[in-house]
Structure 1
Amino acid sequence: MQAAQMESVEEPPSMLWGLDPIFSTFAKLYVRDILQMTESIQVPDVYFYNSHPIFQVDVLGTVVYKRERDSFFCYGVDDGTGVINCLCWKKDLLKEKGDPTKSGAKHSDGAQGSFDPVAELEKLRQAQKNRCHLDIGDLLRVRGPVKTYRQQREITAHVYYKVNDPVMAVQIAWMMEVPQLYRQCYDKPILQQPDEMGDSSFTLLSKATNVIKDFVKQKMASKVRPYDVMDLLHPLFPVHSQTASEDQRPVAGPSSFQRLRQLVQETLQVLQDEGILYRKVRSQDEVYHVTAEDTDLLIAVKDIIREDSKREHFAEKGCHVLHILTAVRHSYSLNVTKAALEVILRKLECNSEIVSTRDNYYTAF
């Protein structure tokens, strides 16, 4: 059903594909969606998911079948939504079947001490073979372009390797990350055809977002309400009523107002996704707090890191960002997002009030 739905969407011009940041990345899509993507009629081996142009993907799944040839492995990868064929070319070290002592004899004769280049080369070959040669049931990660071969969708791997995941930490992190990417990126159609104003919705939304960012930065506002945003964004909609005849009423009717309200909602959502704004309390009075200017939130985060860093469990590595987020939601507000917390953490780190001990771990000075 999704494939039929995507076919009905007109394909964006190829000159606009570069505006979509997903086009230049390895998209972490479910196998089901990779198999159902619509192929481009303009450029071969480019596909569309929800109007996003995609030609290379990143997949993590279990090997359910395998075939081996002289120059490549062929693995069937199942991520729980479907199975896709992955063509994994063998590395040069795996193709060499000759006696390694012949090519390394001269080096071993002149080797000094206990270092043996022949033995080291064999160890390297064996280590690479262990990472690239998988059995059924192993966890495989594949990154590469999507191809259609004999009417079947497959991935030609640029990078592939066996994932050692005894406690399923990698799979759990993957299952938490991918749905967020769908909500924040893949399920939001960015590339759209120009509207009647002669400007694309993507460009209009970008302009609106920049207007609010500049306003918050210049005025150092701590709170923003929808009607404030509406007043700021109103100049983005040109008034066509001036060219109307004198006996006609202005054409600033419901359609213009509805478009402005929709733009306000989309702009506020983008700013929340980026962590610039957040709602401390969900109520009818829609108040959006400016994250970087919220002194109470900044103090709450700093106190949590300072107190928890003294505990034995966090003394060595510091507090993980997810632990801090849970504590902030418990003690300050349930509506604080991870993006908003990251804005606060960056500000505290720039002010030298906390320090990052490693990726996503923080401690107080």
Structure 2
Amino acid sequence: MQSATKDSGEETPSMLWGLDPVFAAYAKLYVRDILQMTESTQVPGIYFYNSHPVFKVDVLGTVVSKRERDDFFCYGVDDGTGVINCLCWKNDLLKEEGDPTKSVGKHTDGAQAGFNPEAELEKLRRAQQSRCHLEIGELLRVRGSVKTARLQREITASVYYKVNDPVMAVQIEWMMEVPQLYRQCYDKPFLLQPDVMGDFAITPLNKATNIIKDFLKQKAMSRFRPYDVQDLLQPLISSEPQTESADQEPVPGPSSFQKLSQLLNQALQLLQDEGFLYCRVKSQEDVYHVTAEDKELFMAVKDVIREDSKRAKYAEKGCHILHILSAVRQRFSLNVSRTALELVLTSLECSSDIISTSENHYILI
């Protein structure tokens, strides 16, 4: 894991922070890294981990200390890498203690008269108290903004709750997910290369992927061959002569056709990495399928969830995304990537064909 330290002179201008997806998300960072992050010199309350601007974090850990005041709880949370204080404000339901004698009378009247809003509100308050009142040794999940108060780093919670995890399923899933986020995102620095005009350059590869995306969406194509889109990228290939004067000999280098082929292959590979495309069958003349337009892939995913949800192992919680991916590869195509599957699952959930019973688990409606 890389160090969170960053020279303030190298900070990305604040107007460009929104280009980093980490900035808008609750970053699942280790407590150790939250404590070591460097605060921005441009905007107080913004911190940097490996050049990524961060102000919201998501932490899961064990309560090792507790303080309670009239308006808030202060829990010390240990995730195994460090301990950080989490300031958890009480809402109005938690502040209203109520009179137990009066509550009993109201509940009795409500039982005789039918639905009693006050009784239901009392049940809600008690349920919320059970989720927000934690004792030392219990598991707490906190989402909130990072603050520095009295020279100490802490989290001001916007959402917090006790996690019931008797078989450690939530903790194991968390320990598998967070290192992956570090490898794929947090430990990769956020870099933007400025051009000579001071604006941030759009590379030919980015232009190529956008051209292909726009063309496929405009034509509503579900499949295509590389030569169908190759000519679209021709304007991106420089046609300038290789010599500055007639006296100079030609400079060896790739031809325009080779540059075009290379750019096309790079763009198609990038679109596959994003899950936008996938190649169902590998052959000499690959046929690429547009993930969002491939109805057969959608049906294959729904069939896997429908059939396997009937098995006792998946009946209650649903099918895990890795199980769905393995089954789709066995029954449909070996070349379906996880990113493509995630796009399909998101689309199916948005159309109310499936629901996620928990994180990374899905079941058919």
State TM-score, norm by structure 2: 0.72
Alpha-carbon distance change, 7 to 138 in structure 1, aligned in 2, over 3 angstroms? same
Q: Report which stretch shifted further, 67-76 or 298-307.
A: 298-307
Counterparts in 2 of 1:49 and 1:272: CA distance versus 1, 3 Å: farther
CA distance in 2, matches of 1:83, 1:6: 22
Change (3 A) 1:319 1:127: closer
Aligned counterpart, 1:46:
46
Give the equivalent residue in structure 1 for 2:81.
81
Shift of 1:190: 4.4
The answer as to whether partners of 1:59 and 1:141 remain within 8 angstroms in 2 is yes
The equivalent residue for 1:178 is 178
What amino acid is aligned across from residue 214 of structure 1 in structure 2? D
- Preserved CA contact (<8 Å) 2:5 2:48: no
Aligned residue for 2:142, secondary structure, equals strand
Following the alignment from structure 1 to structure 2, what is the Cα–Cα distance between the partners of residues 157 and 342?
29
Judged with a 3 Å threshold, the aligned counterparts in structure 2 of structure 1 residues 300 and 357 are, in CA distance, closer, same or farther, namely: closer
1:356 aligns with 2:328: no
Determine if contact 1:31/1:81 at 8 Å carries over to the other structure. Answer: yes
Residues 100 and 118, structure 1, Cα contact 8 Å, conserved in 2: no
Q: Which SS does the other structure have where 1:154 is aligned?
A: strand
- Quote how far apart the aligned CAs of 1:10 are: 1.8
Residue 142 (structure 1) shift: 0.7
Q: 1:327 to 1:333 in 2, by over 3 A?
A: same
Structure 1 residue 63: deviation in Å?
1.2
SS across alignment from 2:113: coil
C-alpha change, 1:66 and 1:245, in structure 2 (3 Å) is farther
Moved more, 20-29 or 150-159: 20-29
Aligned partner of 1:290: which letter? H
Pick closer, same or farther for the CA change 1:288–1:81 going to 2, 3 Å.
Answer: farther
Judged with a 3 Å threshold, the aligned counterparts in structure 2 of structure 1 residues 30 and 266 are, in CA distance, closer, same or farther, namely: farther
Q: Does structure 1 residue 18 correspond to structure 2 residue 18?
A: yes
- CA gap of 1:73–1:327, structure 2 versus 1, over 3 A, is same
**Secondary structure of the residue that 1:67 maps to in structure 2?**
strand
**Structure 2 CA distance, aligned partners of 1:50 and 1:97?**
45
Alpha-carbon spacing, 1:199–1:333, altered in 2? closer, same or farther (3 Å): farther
Q: CA deviation at 1:4?
A: 6.3
Contact 2:52 / 2:189 at 8 angstroms: preserved in 1? yes
Deviations 1:111-130, CA, capped at 9 Å, x for gaps: 66376776655544433322
Which residues in structure 2 correspond to 1:202-221 (within 5 Å)?
206-217=206-217, 218=219, 221=223
Tell me the percent identity: 67
- Provide the residue aligned with 1:72 in structure 2: 72
Matched, 1:37 2:33: no
- 1:130 correspondence with 2:130: yes
- CA pair 247-83 structure 1, distance change in 2 beyond 3 A: farther
Q: 1:80 is matched by which residue type in structure 2?
A: G
**TM-score normalized by structure 1?**
0.72
1:150 corresponding residue in structure 2:
150
Cα distance, 1:270 vs. partner? 4.3
**After the TM superposition, which residues 1-365 of structure 1 pair with which residues of structure 2 at under 5 Å, given as runs?**
2-3=2-3, 6-7=6-7, 10-96=10-96, 99=99, 113=113, 122-190=122-190, 192-196=192-196, 199-200=199-200, 206-217=206-217, 218=219, 221-224=223-226, 235-236=235-236, 267-268=267-268, 270-278=270-278, 289-292=288-291, 304=304, 308=308, 321-330=321-330, 335-343=335-343, 355-356=353-354, 361=362
Shift of 1:164: 1.1
Partner Cα distance (1:134, 1:345) in 2? 35
Q: Which amino acid aligns with 2:138?
A: D
Greater displacement, 198-207 / 124-133 = 198-207
Deviates most, 244-253 or 273-282:
244-253
Instruction: Say how many residue pairs are matched.
Output: 357
Distance 1:105-1:171 versus aligned 2 partners, 3 A rule? closer
> What SS does the aligned partner of 2:10 have?
coil
The whole-number CA distance in structure 2 between the counterparts of 1:347 and 1:5 is: 39
Write the distance in 1 (CA, Å) between the matches of 2:316 and 2:162: 31
**Do the aligned partners of residues 184 and 363 (structure 1) sit closer, same or farther apart at CA in structure 2, a change above 3 Å counting?**
same
- How far residue 252 of structure 1 moved from its aligned partner, in angstroms, is 10
Higher mean C-alpha deviation, range 8-17 or range 213-222: 213-222
Report the CA distance between 1:56 and its aligned residue: 1.1
Contact 2:5 2:49 in 1 (8 A): no
Q: Distance in 1 between matches of 2:107 and 2:157?
A: 35
Cα contact 2:64–2:75 (8 A) shared by 1: yes
Alpha-carbon offset, residue 338 of structure 1: 1.9
Contact 2:243 2:251 in 1 (8 A): no
Runs (5+) with no aligned partner, structure 1? none
Change beyond 3 A, Cα 1:18–1:229:
same
CA contact (8 A) 2:225 2:287 kept: yes
* Contact 2:106 2:119 (C-alpha < 8 Å) held by counterparts: no
Aligned-partner residue type, residue 88 of structure 2: C
- 1:74 CA displacement: 1.6
Pair 1:28–1:87, CA change in 2 (3 A): same
Deviation sequence 1:230-251 (CA, Å, 0-9, x none): 9765644767779967767899
Alpha-carbon distance in 2 for matches of 1:140, 1:59: 8
Cα pair 2:72 2:90 within 8 Å, conserved? yes
Distance 1:280 1:150, change over 3 A: farther
Shift of the alpha carbon at 1:327?
Answer: 1.8
Q: Following the alignment from structure 1 to structure 2, what is the Cα–Cα distance between the partners of residues 182 and 46?
A: 19
In structure 2, give the amino acid aligned to 1:165: D
